Amino acid sequence: MDRVKIHLDISVVMIAMFMSTLLMPSLGQTSRFRYKVDKSEILLQFQKQLFKPLNSKLEEFQKAFDEDYQAEDYVFDAFEAFKKADTAYEPIMQNWVKQFPDSYAPYVARAEYYCACALQARGNKRVIEKGQNEYKEMERFYSLALLDMDQALKLNVGMDVCYALKVGIGMALEKEELITNALIEATKNHPYEYRVRLKYLQTLTPRNGGSYEKMEGFIASCAKSAVYNPKIKELSAAIPADKGSTFSYLGKYGQAVNMYTEALKYSNCHSYFADRGDAYAKLQNYKQALEDYDRALELSPNDPEYLLRKTRAIVQQNRFNDAQKMQRQSNQADTYDDWPPKKSSKVENEQAIKHAQKGNEFMRAGQYEQAISEYTEAIRFLPDEYILYHNRALCYLQSNNDEAALQDFLHAIERKRDDIEAYIKITTIYANRGMYDEAINSMNSALVVKPDDGELFYYRGKVYERRGMNNEAMQDIRQACEMGYQRACWNVMYK
């Protein structure tokens, strides 16, 4: 199929946008809001069906945006927490809408969910025929999303998240009128908004039938609005960011890094840091990749997607380091007569034991920061000893530093594959973040190591249960009971 290129009449759009700005005389707002959106916290409230406080949180972000343009990103980031095609989400979404039919929040959240389902239905194909089943399924989900958006906009016409989603749907389904109308309607209510403009810019990229010249023209046409909302200046990041995405797709990761670096000169957007981190990881520059993921997580705390990318990079880094270590050892074996090299010296072992014992004492006393410091020193002398990472991870958990704990538990199981407690802790951390696929994979890995452990079946069953996969959950919990894990038997009795 020849892709139908989207060529919008920018002049018509901009005239409408200019007229809408005449309706709003307020000048240059200053940001009074300093939120950071914790997507994991939002998802946890959603999964626990704590809809009333969740509505309040999401409405607070929208109210902040209505008062101050600088708070616009918070609204978009908050609702993007629901942009995951997880089948367990749908029944919770239905319950949310049923309980709060007069709130726009559940409708917008469900629209994000349906859009994610549409992208999943489409798959990785860049171009699909309209007659293909993938296209029909994508179209079905987008239709459901549009119904929810229209309902949300009836309840709150200023929900720019909906207009941005409509632009995205218009781009996917090649409906120019939907794109144009969404942009015009958004600027009627928020004349100096930024995110819908940014989404519109994506319709002008070369891969969507536009050009960088058209993108530059649109950016220039928005320049005067930056007086009222300085965030609009960040539109200039869109062109190098798109080039970075294209280079990454082509496997030209060095050029992708350069383009994302250029984009970050204009915008401190967390997604640009994360995307550059991906490119660095492909180049096996894990130090820079992890720094970028950390920066993304500073701007979007506990973002499940960024946490997953960071975890993957750490695993890849460890494998890379192990491979390099083996290569060095191989080279030394060819060079030196005294191969293999001696293990840690007696003095180093003694120092490690000394620090580990102090760490144990501090941990028993509940002095977790001091214990972490001692375990860190012990690891310096014995970097391959799994129990040091395991114990330090337990201290991090007690200090509410789940991310550091996760990384240490991962280090532990790399050094001792049958550290079952580490697998369970990893699973729990992932499950608490709503990262159920990762939690289940963790249990699957543990069961490969120890397939006769009823406790592992029990914990996998509890993850299935939280995800809404009740048949799989009950099957695993019954299996755990049959294998003699009493906690599972108690669970079965009271089902």
What CA–CA distance (Å, rounded) separates 378 from 478? 42
pLDDT at 486: 79
pLDDT at 47: 87
What CA–CA distance (Å, rounded) separates 191 from 88? 38
Amino acid at position 412, single letter? A
What CA–CA distance (Å, rounded) separates 178 from 167? 7
The token pair at 403 is: 């991310």
- Residues in Cβ contact with 178 at an 8 Å cutoff, skipping those fewer than 6 apart: 166, 167, 169, 170
pLDDT at 125: 58
- Residues in Cβ contact with 240 at an 8 Å cutoff, skipping those fewer than 6 apart: 259, 260, 262, 263, 266
pLDDT at 26: 37
User: What is the homologous superfamily of the domain 346-493 according to CATH?
Assistant: Tetratricopeptide repeat domain (1.25.40.10)
What CA–CA distance (Å, rounded) separates 482 from 242? 54
CA angle 208–120–159, rounded 5-degree value: 70
pLDDT single digits (tens) 37-73: 888 889 889 988 999 999 999 999 999 999 888 889 9
pLDDT at 2: 41
Burial of residue 195, with CB atoms counted within 10 A of its CB: 0-12 exposed, 13-18 middle, 19 or more buried:
buried
- Residues in Cβ contact with 182 at an 8 Å cutoff, skipping those fewer than 6 apart: 163, 164, 166, 167, 170, 196
pLDDT at 302: 80
First-to-last C-alpha distance (Å) of the chain: 53
Residue with tokens 């995205």: 168
1: which DSSP letter?
-
Domain 233-341 has CATH 1.10.3720.10: no
Residue with tokens 């580490």: 422
* Same fold across 10-232 and 233-341: yes
Q: Which fold has domain 10-232?
A: 1.25.40
69: which DSSP letter?
G
2: which DSSP letter?
P
Concatenate the DSSP letters of all residues of 170-218 into one string: HHHHT-HHHHHHHHHHHHHH-TT-SHHHHHHHHTTSGGGT--HHHHHHH
Could you tell me the residue ranges of all domains in the chain?
Answer: 10-232, 233-341, 346-493
Amino acid at position 342, single letter? K
Low-confidence residues in the chain, pLDDT < 50: 1-8, 10-33, 329-344, 493-495
Cis peptide before 101 (omega within 30 of 0): no
CA angle 437–286–369, rounded 5-degree value: 75
- Sign of the CA dihedral running 371, 373, 374, 378: positive
What CA–CA distance (Å, rounded) separates 188 from 296? 32
284: which DSSP letter?
T
**Confidence (pTM):** 0.65
The token pair at 344 is: 């840690």
| Nearest by Cα to 183 from 153, 162, 156, 208 | 162
What CA–CA distance (Å, rounded) separates 417 from 405? 17
The token pair at 62 is: 């929208």
What CA–CA distance (Å, rounded) separates 206 from 243? 10
- Residues in Cβ contact with 117 at an 8 Å cutoff, skipping those fewer than 6 apart: 85, 141
- Residues in Cβ contact with 167 at an 8 Å cutoff, skipping those fewer than 6 apart: 178, 179, 182, 183, 196, 199, 200, 202, 203
How many other C-beta atoms can be found within 10 angstroms of the C-beta atom of residue 187?
Answer: 26
The token pair at 7 is: 């060529």
Half-sphere exposure for 280 (CA within 13 Å, toward CB): 23
Amino acid at position 223, single letter? A
Classify 442 in phi/psi space as left (phi over 0), alpha (psi -120 to 50) or beta: alpha
What CA–CA distance (Å, rounded) separates 106 from 364? 45
195, 256, 395 from 63: Cα distances, Å? 16, 37, 39
pLDDT single digits (tens) 339-352: 333 344 666 778 88
What CA–CA distance (Å, rounded) separates 387 from 375? 10
